[in-house]
């Protein structure tokens, strides 16, 4: 049975309260009658302070997070967020700065933005960086709008297509469509690379550009990346790099040198700023000199006299976010880069890649690898266990919860049947990886001998299998007594 957590409204009782206001020390004033509330405030629950604290603390403890458990959610890079970053982000000069206080009073914050732009440009091999976008998908949108603006600026009006490989993250085709362009799919080949023959068939004078993730969503380095960039460039198109998998190549390869023209950085993935639950992210973007005038603005820069200021690039696609982007995330990413340095960043990627390959090698006899190759920072296996009847990847993922692990990403990328996408990140040591491997090996044995255990999973979590479709289509976002009474009944 699922444990039903009563809503605060259900704990409410008339007369209870959790506030203690000081005695009025100013004269009472007469408010105009039309400003006085006419109806009762009975829309608010009445509760004591401890009840409210316990309620929120208890439900917060139901969260799985990298602070509580191994979280190998492929493509999401759920690395630990060092507490040092939180301390720096809370410095009053950053946290209490007002976005309208002007450049002269914001020199420290602007300097941090300039330095972060410089760091990101250096790490990726790009000439210019904007910190505006709030997420990876937002950065993609900036990039494709910049591609469009670039072509139109040159009087090239025919480029209305964006090439997107079949392994791509869903945000890539969504971005192209939202930008008013047409998505043209490109197949992968048997080694998990872009199929060059298919690419040559699809590229044309209508190609605005190609969106590519490298390493791709199979966790594999695109072996023909130089040729791909050449083919697209020769046709007059531009290369967009989806930088979600940048954690694999820090200090090893620079996308700008591989031939990409524009790329987003998921600061909340690669650069350890916290993410999840729809919280604030940061999807900075970098690009070549040719595309720099089109970047979203404002960006920050150093002046000739050594001060710092905001400016909007000459042909900017415009503003994507109020004020300075999600500034607190920029502080955390800057701190991450400053504390690790050049050598540390390279070690991050080397360890992330080593960890993923360790897991891959220890599991691939039971869980076949989607494409048999050395992987980068994540590995895509298949939940197709020999001799297990009626067991799906979903069952394996749910059973992992009973073993105390957050499940990997499942059923992505779409081209892999029963995909199980594991990204351990560099955060974990061998002991954690070994216990995760042992759990997945035990689950494989259960899948053959006692599949009912997998079908019943999870049994240890506060809730069992959720109706994800109903949750998405008919969400209950406000308290409604009848709806909650029904939920409570259903949970019995
Ligand atoms: C996470 C991710 C994105 C989107 O990034 P958001 O920050 O979630 O918007 C795009 N592509 C890939 C491959 C990703 O893993």
Give the DSSP per-residue string, 211-233. EEESS-TTS---TTHHHHHHHHH
> Is residue 331's pLDDT more than 70?
yes
pLDDT of residue 488: 76
Residues near ligand 1 with C-beta < 6 Å?
A: 75, 135-137, 169, 171, 213, 217, 242, 244, 266, 281, 283
pLDDT of residue 44: 80
CA 349 / ligand 1 centre spacing (Å): 18
Burial of 77 (0-12, 13-18, 19+ CB in 10 A): buried
Q: What angle do CA 74, 247, 230 make, to 5 degrees?
A: 105
Q: Which atom of ligand 1 is nearest to the CA of 266?
A: 7
Mean pLDDT, residues 106-130: 98
pLDDT of residue 221: 97
pLDDT of residue 383: 98
pLDDT of residue 1: 42
CA 265 / ligand 1 centre spacing (Å): 9
The residue written with tokens 């998990």 in the block is 192
CA 271 / ligand 1 centre spacing (Å): 14
Q: Which atom of ligand 1 is nearest to the CA of 138?
A: 9
CA 138 / ligand 1 centre spacing (Å): 9
Mean pLDDT, residues 329-335: 97
CA 329 / ligand 1 centre spacing (Å): 16
pLDDT of residue 64: 87
Helices 393-402 and 430-449, packing angle to 10 deg: 120
CA 218 / ligand 1 centre spacing (Å): 14
157, two tokens:
């009006």
Burial of 314 (0-12, 13-18, 19+ CB in 10 A): exposed
pLDDT of residue 299: 98
Alpha helices in 167-316 (DSSP H): 171-178, 196-202, 225-234, 255-258
CA 375 / ligand 1 centre spacing (Å): 19
Report residue 443: phi and psi, to 5°.
-65, -35
* Confidence at 462, pLDDT banded by 50, 70, 90: confident
What would the DSSP string read from start to end of 34-99?
GGS--S--TTS----HHHHHHHHHHHHTT---TTTS---BTTS------HHHHHHHT-HHHHT--T
pLDDT of residue 375: 98
Question: Domains of the chain by range and CATH?
Answer: 83-339 (3.40.640.10)
The residue written with tokens 């995760």 in the block is 436
pLDDT of residue 463: 85
> Is residue 358's pLDDT more than 50?
yes
Closest-CA residue, ligand 1 atom 8, reads 136
Average pLDDT, the chain: 94
By most ligand atoms within 8 Å of CB, the mutation choice from 143, 171, 176, 409 for ligand 1 is: 171
End-to-end CA distance of the chain: 6
Rounded to whole angstroms, the Cα distance separating 77 from 257 reads 24
Q: Which atom of ligand 1 is nearest to the CA of 75?
A: 15
Mean pLDDT, residues 336-365: 98
Burial of 161 (0-12, 13-18, 19+ CB in 10 A): buried
pLDDT of residue 107: 97
Parallel, antiparallel or unpaired: strands 182-186 and 128-130: unpaired
* Confidence at 278, pLDDT banded by 50, 70, 90: low
pLDDT of residue 37: 86
Q: Which atom of ligand 1 is nearest to the CA of 171?
A: 10
* Confidence at 42, pLDDT banded by 50, 70, 90: low
How many C-beta atoms surround the C-beta of residue 318 within 10 A? 12
Rounded to whole angstroms, the Cα distance separating 417 from 257 reads 34
Report residue 358: phi and psi, to 5°.
-60, -50
CA 228 / ligand 1 centre spacing (Å): 22
2 or 122, higher pLDDT: 122
Rounded to whole angstroms, the Cα distance separating 442 from 461 reads 19
Please confirm whether the linkage preceding 244 is cis (ω < 30° from 0).
Answer: no
Count of H-run helices and E-run strands, the chain: 16, 12
CA 136 / ligand 1 centre spacing (Å): 5
pLDDT tens-digit map of 420-461: 999 999 999 999 999 999 999 999 999 999 999 999 999 999
Please confirm whether the linkage preceding 413 is cis (ω < 30° from 0).
Answer: yes
476 or 174, higher pLDDT: 174
> Is residue 294's pLDDT more than 70?
yes
Closest-CA residue, ligand 1 atom 15, reads 75
Give me the half-sphere count of Cα atoms (radius 13 Å) on the Cβ side of residue 266: 24
Residues with Cβ within 8 Å of residue 199, at least 6 apart in sequence: 163, 186, 210, 228, 231, 232
Mean pLDDT, residues 40-54: 86
Rounded to whole angstroms, the Cα distance separating 136 from 143 reads 10
Q: Which atom of ligand 1 is nearest to the CA of 268?
A: 7
Rounded to whole angstroms, the Cα distance separating 363 from 373 reads 14
Q: Which atom of ligand 1 is nearest to the CA of 217?
A: 13
By most ligand atoms within 8 Å of CB, the mutation choice from 212, 214, 242, 248 for ligand 1 is: 242
Mean pLDDT, residues 212-228: 97
* Confidence at 108, pLDDT banded by 50, 70, 90: very high
Q: Which atom of ligand 1 is nearest to the CA of 139?
A: 9
């Amino acid at each position: 049975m699922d444990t039903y957590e009563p809503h605060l409204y259900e704990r409410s009782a008339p007369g209870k309260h959790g506030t203690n206001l000081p005695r009025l020390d100013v004269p009472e004033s007469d408010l105009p009658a039309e400003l006085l509330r006419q109806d009762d405030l009975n829309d608010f629950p009445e509760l004591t302070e401890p009840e409210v604290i316990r309620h929120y603390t208890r439900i917060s403890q139901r969260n799985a997070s990298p602070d509580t458990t191994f979280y190998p959610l492929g493509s999401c890079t759920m690395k630990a967020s060092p507490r040092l970053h939180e301390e720096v982000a809370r410095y009053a000069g950053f946290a209490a700065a007002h976005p309208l206080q002007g450049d002269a009073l914001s020199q420290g914050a602007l300097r941090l933005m300039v330095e972060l732009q410089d760091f990101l440009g250096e790490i990726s091999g790009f000439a210019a960086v904007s910190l505006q976008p709030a997420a990876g998908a937002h950065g993609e949108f900036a990039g494709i709008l910049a591609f469009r603006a670039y072509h139109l600026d040159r009087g090239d009006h025919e480029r209305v297509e964006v090439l997107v490989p079949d392994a791509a993250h869903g945000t890539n085709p969504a971005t192209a469509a939202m930008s008013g362009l047409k998505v043209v799919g490109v197949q992968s080949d048997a080694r998990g690379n872009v199929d060059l023959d298919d690419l040559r068939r699809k590229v044309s004078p209508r190609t605005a550009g190609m969106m590519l993730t490298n390493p791709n969503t199979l966790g594999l380095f695109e072996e023909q990346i130089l040729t791909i960039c050449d083919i697209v460039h020769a046709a007059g198109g531009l290369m967009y790099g989806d930088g979600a998998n940048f954690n694999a190549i820090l200090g090893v390869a620079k996308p700008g040198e591989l031939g990409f023209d524009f790329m987003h950085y998921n600061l909340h993935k690669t650069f350890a700023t916290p993410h999840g639950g729809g919280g604030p992210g940061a999807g900075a973007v970098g690009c070549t000199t040719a595309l720099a005038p089109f970047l979203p603005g404002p960006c920050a820069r150093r002046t000739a006299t050594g001060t710092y200021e905001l400016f909007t690039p000459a042909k900017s696609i415009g503003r994507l976010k109020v004020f300075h982007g999600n500034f607190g995330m920029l502080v955390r990413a800057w701190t991450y880069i400053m504390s690790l340095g050049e050598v540390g960043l390279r070690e991050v990627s080397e360890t992330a890649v080593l960890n993923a390959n360790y897991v891959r090698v220890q599991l691939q006899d039971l869980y076949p690898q989607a494409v048999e190759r050395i992987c980068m920072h994540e590995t895509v296996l298949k939940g197709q266990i020999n001799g297990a009847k009626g067991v799906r990847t979903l069952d394996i993922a749910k059973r992992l919860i009973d073993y105390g692990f957050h499940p990997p990403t499942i059923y992505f990328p779409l081209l892999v049947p029963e995909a199980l996408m594991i990204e351990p990140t560099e955060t974990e040591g061998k002991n954690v990886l070994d216990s995760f491997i042992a759990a997945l090996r035990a689950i494989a044995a259960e899948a053959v001998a006692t599949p009912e255990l997998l079908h019943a999973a999870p049994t240890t979590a506060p809730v069992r299998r959720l109706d994800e479709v109903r949750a998405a289509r008919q969400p209950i976002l406000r308290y409604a007594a009848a709806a909650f009474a029904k939920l409570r009944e259903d949970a019995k």
